[in-house]
Amino acid sequence: MVFTFDDLPLVFSCPRHWQADPAVDMIMQTWRMRERMKTVSVALVICLNVGVDPPDVTKTQPCARQECWVDPLSLNPQRALETIGGNLQRQYERWQPRARYRQSLDPTVEEVRRLATGLRRSAREERVLFHYNGHGVPRPTANGEIWVFNRSYTQYIPLSIYDLQSWMGSPSIYVYDCNNAGIIVDSFKNFAEQHEREYVEQVRAGGPQAGAAELPPPPSLRNCIQLAACSKDQLLPMNPDLPADLFTACLTTPIKVALRWFVMKNDLGHLAPQVKLEHLEKIPGQFGDRRTMLGELNWIFTAITDTIAWNTLPRDTFQKLFRQDLLVASLFRNFL
């Protein structure tokens, strides 16, 4: 017996499936952004001054020590600082390998200025990331200042967020891993509004002097993203079983932190009796290869965090944070 396509039953063949219903208004949702943006430059500013604790924070004993999964006291100070800087860069490169990375280790104000202005100049209209680790300096000030060093490391020197905004421009993304990081977030908003007021006043006053270049627009707060480790009245965690830069670790090595937290919370062995903290360093595979254990864990993690974001954020916010920029999307998945 021979069958033809005419003998097979048809589906969706009722008249209602063939006739257009003018009362139905189809609303199409776009999943991909038409306007793409890339984070092309990353400034890694690390202020540790290894071996010298800042004077305004009393640490517990024992306390968290690891920075980028390295114990700085296990190496000489300069070697420890360079190793931590290299590890941090590699952790970011896992999420955006094509960006231009520049490290600034225990810098002065002038070194930060040159770094920020140079990266903004080369990035043009693309996004620049500024990562600040302030574990070796005092807390941010109420006047909106973070701290760096003088050339001989004998003094802490304040660096105004107002100046940093001018150097970084926009679009930019900032990561603050320090105590009382919420102070920086509040100051950033106030200074951004101050920049806009000053720009309007200059325009009303007649703009630049005759023959001078056109006034550059002020940094737009709407095009700047901030990620802070804690609020303005909080200190960083000091649990010795966790890294001192826990916020950075969550943003750049989320699988490692999640597994470590899971094992620590289930140390009685009810769910994973044979898994210990030392075993977490031996998980085989590559993050980008789903055929491996580590790659599959990363794939599951991405699916879960994207689903949470899609179901909780407004659509335009989701598109901006999770579909526009590869590095920003990775950081916000890890931030969740």
> What is the Cα–Cα distance from 63 to 168, expressed in whole angstroms?
34
| Phi/psi at 106 (5° precision) | 45, 60
CB atoms within 10 A of CB 203: 12
**b/e for 62-93, b at 16 or more Cβ within 10 A?**
eebebbbebebeeeebeebbebbbebbbebbe
DSSP code per residue over 57-112: -PPPSS----BTTB-GGGS-HHHHHHHHHHHHHHHHHTT-TTSEEEEEES--HHHH
**Could you tell me the CA-to-CA distances from 288 to 89, 101, 298, 301, 309 in Å, in that order?**
18, 21, 8, 13, 22
Q: What is the pLDDT of residues 189-248, one digit of tens each?
A: 999 888 888 888 888 887 555 444 566 666 676 789 999 999 999 999 998 889 999 999
Residue 283's nearest CA partner among 304, 303, 263, 307 is 263
Q: With a cut of 50, which residues of the chain have pLDDT below it?
A: 210-212
Report CA torsion sign: 317, 322, 323, 327: positive
* DSSP code at position 19: S
* Token pair 């209602």: residue: 16
State residue 216's pLDDT score: 64
| Phi/psi at 150 (5° precision) | -85, 175
Written as six digits, the tokens of 35 are: 């306007």
State residue 284's pLDDT score: 80
> What is the Cα–Cα distance from 100 to 112, expressed in whole angstroms?
16
| Residue type for position 17 | H
State residue 127's pLDDT score: 94
Q: Are 152 and 202 in contact (CB under 8 A)?
A: no
CB atoms within 10 A of CB 258: 14
Q: Are 316 and 309 in contact (CB under 8 A)?
A: no
> What is the Cα–Cα distance from 71 to 92, expressed in whole angstroms?
19
Parallel/antiparallel/unpaired status of strands 172-177 and 224-228: parallel
- Helix residue spans in 124-235 (DSSP H): 161-168, 182-204
